[in-house]
Structure 1
Amino acid sequence: MNYLVAVLPDRIQAEAAYVALEKEGLPMSQVAILGKGYKSADEYGLIDPNEQAGKQAKLMATWLVPFGFVAGVAFSLSTGLDTFAWAGEWGNHFIGGLLGAGSGAMGSAFVGGGTGLIFGSGDALPYRNRLKLGKYLIVVNGDESLTRKATLILRRFDPENIQGYADYSQM
């Protein structure tokens, strides 16, 4: 499955491009307009990078927190530090484990959430930002010949950006 995304500056051009695609015989079930008065990014399924970052952070926490606990206990056992005298020997090891688990949680939040937010969004974030600025997106999905035909038609409308994508997960 291939996708073609064209960014148009206003609603009039987006509607004109949509009509041109319809006149050329493209199946309109495979063409969508995103923008004010049409589908939103969420309705179309354009990923939200904040949501993806949260999922990534939770995924990393499922293994980093237990690993951090074990590493904290192991560190406490290997060094024999008596940091918290009031807690006793096993209490110190347990507190070391809790501190390790906390470090694992922080690591999952910073690495999983931070990198997920910065690198995990792909082109979804720029498209979402353009929609917030009042721009419109024309999205065509289908086989390569359909997206190639749509590219030729959409170029007539001088889009701000036109980009093709191949979704190999559907194959």
Structure 2
Amino acid sequence: MRWSSVETTAEGPKPMGLCVAVLLKDTGSRSELKALLDGQPGLQLREVGTGGTEPEEVVELNPALQRQARQRQMATWLLPFGFGAGMVFTFITNLDTFAFAGPIGQPLIGGLLGLGSGWMGSYAAAASVTSDRDDQIRVVRNRLNEGQCVLMIDAIQSDMVPWALIQRCRPASVVRLKDD
């Protein structure tokens, strides 16, 4: 795998702005397209399926991984706010539900309960959002199951994708998976 003009972090490459799946008819077309795109600045190429990355490992093709990422992102906001809301609620209501914990422990328990509510809310919010790209993902996964070759092209900007080079290989189809 080759990274060109792409910043990487400890977890791997930085998220890109555009992801395109090119469905090719055979492995010869995939090799030809890889050779044409190799060396293009700002592009990251990933082979998916036969001889490449498994589709379950590719975030753009796996709704479960997308949902997990949304849940983690939601949790970073909802957990602290839930904790703060639980503490504030305990202070402003003057309820002595947890009187055994004392004046310091009572708001802390309220904060922990709010923290738990934020955690549960992050799961509920992440599960309730459906992807608007489910149809495109389904098309790509069906083609992978049929044994077609798929080459994922990640680019920082859509104008960096060499559309003319991609069309020279006569792909079966080109599916845009992610626009940021």
Tell me, yes or no, whether TM beats 0.5. yes
1:89 to partner: Cα distance: 4.3
3-state DSSP class of the match of 2:117?
Answer: helix
Question: Which of these two proteins has the greater Rg computed from alpha carbons?
Answer: 1
Shift of the alpha carbon at 1:104?
A: 1.1
Query: Are the equivalent residues in 2 in contact too, given 1:61–1:105 (CA < 8 A)?
Result: yes
- Secondary structure of 1:39's match? coil
| Among 102, 110, 127, the residue aligned to 1:96 | 110
Instruction: Identify the range of structure 1 (95-104 vs 58-67) with the bigger mean alpha-carbon deviation.
Output: 58-67
Unaligned runs of 5+ in 2: 1-16, 40-44
2:163 pairs with 1:150: no
Q: Paired residue for 1:133?
A: 145
1:126 deviation in Å? 3.0
Shift of 1:103: 0.7
- Quick check: 1:68 aligned with 2:82? yes
Asked whether 1:6 is paired with 2:22, we answer: yes
1:82 corresponds to 2:91: no
Moved more, 79-88 or 138-147: 138-147
User: 1:121 deviation in Å?
Assistant: 7.2
Q: 2:82, 2:111 within 8 Å by CA — same for their partners in 1?
A: yes
Measure the CA separation in 2 of the matches of 1:3 and 1:54.
Answer: 19
Give the C-alpha shift of residue 77 in structure 1.
1.0
- Return the letter of the residue paired with 1:39: G
Moved more, 96-105 or 136-145: 136-145
Corresponding residue number in structure 1 for 2:53: 40
Supply the distance in 2 between the matched residues of 1:59 and 1:145 (Cα, whole angstroms).
Answer: 29
Q: Specify the code of the residue in structure 1 equivalent to 2:127.
A: G
CA gap 1:60/1:131 in 2 versus in 1, 3 angstroms = same
Give yes or no for contact 1:49–1:121 (8 Å, CA) kept in 2.
no
Change (3 A) 1:101 1:3: closer
Q: Please state how far the C-alpha of 1:133 moved relative to its aligned partner.
A: 1.9
User: Distance in 2 between the 1:78 and 1:14 partners?
Assistant: 67
TM-score of the pair, normalised by structure 2? 0.57
Equivalenced residues, count: 153
SS of equivalent residue, structure 1 residue 83: coil
Structure 1 unaligned residues grouped into runs of 5+? none
Identity of aligned residues (%): 26
CA contact 2:80–2:115 (8 Å) conserved in 1:
yes
Measured on the aligned residues, the alpha-carbon RMSD in Å equals 4.3
Return closer, same or farther for 1:91/1:45 CA change in 2, 3 Å cut-off: closer
Deviations 1:27-68 (A, max 9, x none): 2637875322x21246x9664443343333233323322221
